[in-house]
Amino acid sequence: DGGITQSPKYLFRKEGQNVTLSCEQNLNHDAMYWYRQDPGQGLRLIYYSQIVNDFQKGDIAEGYSVSREKKESFPLTVTSAQKNPTAFYLCASSISIGLSGGPSTDTQYFGPGTRLTVL
């Protein structure tokens, strides 16, 4: 049963603490993404990774960090430097991010999301 899983579904954090959100996929996709969704907003890209051991900043990377040690896994750490971390976080993957010189034809498939609340 292929898909993308995110855990936990709900996460609570005290101010000043780092917290890591998990994202795992068994679709054999090369590319993985992290998005943040706020009420009344669309999705905003935090980080993305095209291949193992490589990742790029998205539009709102400040206060976040990622790693891509395995193809299947792309964890996101929300650090204490993130000023307003309460949000819904979505992970996605696609077969590839695109060949050089052109956009990918690949559709992004999303996990169920993690709701992070800072207390």
Partner 1 sequence: AQTVTQSQPEMSVQEAETVTLSCTYDTSESDYYLFWYKQPPSRQMILVIRQEAYKQQNATENRFSVNFQKAAKSFSLKISDSQLGDAAMYFCACRDDKIIFGKGTRLHILP
The footprint of partner 1 (CB under 8 A) covers: 40-45, 58, 88, 90, 92, 98, 102-105, 107-113
Q: How far is the CB of 80 from partner 1 (least distance, A)?
A: 26
Closer residue to partner 1, CB minimum distance, 16 or 42: 42
Q: How far is the CB of 31 from partner 1 (least distance, A)?
A: 11
Q: Which residues pair with 92 in a beta bridge?
A: 33, 110
8 Å CB contact between 76 and 54: no
Please state, in angstroms and as integers, the Cα–Cα distance from residue 31 to each residue in 13, 87, 90, following that order.
28, 23, 14
59 three-state secondary structure = coil
Closer residue to partner 1, CB minimum distance, 92 or 116: 92
Q: How far is the CB of 11 from partner 1 (least distance, A)?
A: 14
Q: How far is the CB of 74 from partner 1 (least distance, A)?
A: 16
Phi, psi torsion values for 105, nearest 5 degrees: -85, -5
Taking the C-alpha atoms of residue 96 and residue 22, their distance in angstroms, rounded to an integer, is 20
Closer residue to partner 1, CB minimum distance, 12 or 70: 12
Amino acid at 76: L
Closer residue to partner 1, CB minimum distance, 33 or 68: 33
